[in-house]
Structure 1
Amino acid sequence: MTDSLLQQGTNLMLMGMGTVFVFLAILVVATTVMSRVVNRLSPEEVAPEPEPVVAPAGQVDKRVVQIIQAALDKHRGRH
């Protein structure tokens, strides 16, 4: 009787694990197929990259220079 119970338990475990494995495999396949279908029906539009704003060479706002100088002074421990 003990062998029969162990065999039944093993069979039940294998059936349960097999069922979960099959379900997850089907889920992965279905998700992959749906993703490909959605990408074919409405592909993502690539937005153009915005051009970086560059200040003219040699022209820096005096206020910005003062702020940077104050930060450097504080970092170096002058104040």
Structure 2
Amino acid sequence: MQNTELLQEGLSIMGLGMGFVFVFLTVLVISVTLMSKMIGRFQPIPVAVASGSKGTHKPVTDSQEDEVKAVISAAVHRYRSSKHI
């Protein structure tokens, strides 16, 4: 084969490969878009949570903090004492 024939064959194979990739990606984008629209149609839209239920947390007092610290320190002490290292 001559150089021009090799070059022409290489360009045709490159065009075929790039065309295949382009078609595949186009089909992929279309299918993902259609699936997204189908899910949006069949999946119900989540209802917004009422704003009154968000502020139900009570502030932590100092006595609760002290109790939590005591419980954590007791748990750490028990864990360390059970590890006979």
TM-score by length of 1: 0.60
Q: 1:53 aligned to 2:54?
A: no
Higher relative contact order (CA 8 A, sep 6+): 1
Q: Percent identity?
A: 39
What residue is the counterpart of 1:10 in the other structure? 11
Q: Which of the two has greater helix per residue?
A: 2
TM-score by length of 2: 0.57
How large is the RMSD of aligned CA atoms in angstroms? Answer: 3.0
| Aligned 1:22-37 pairs, distance under 5 A | 22-37=23-38
Mind listing any 5+ residue stretches in structure 2 that lack a counterpart?
A: 60-64, 68-85
What residue is the counterpart of 2:20 in the other structure? 19
AA of the residue aligned to 1:38: I
What residue is the counterpart of 1:44 in the other structure? 45
Corresponding residue pairs, total:
68
1:16-38 residue CA offsets vs partner (Å, 9 max, x unmatched): 01101110111011110011011
Mind listing any 5+ residue stretches in structure 1 that lack a counterpart?
A: 56-60, 64-79
**Secondary structure at 2:46 match in 1:** coil
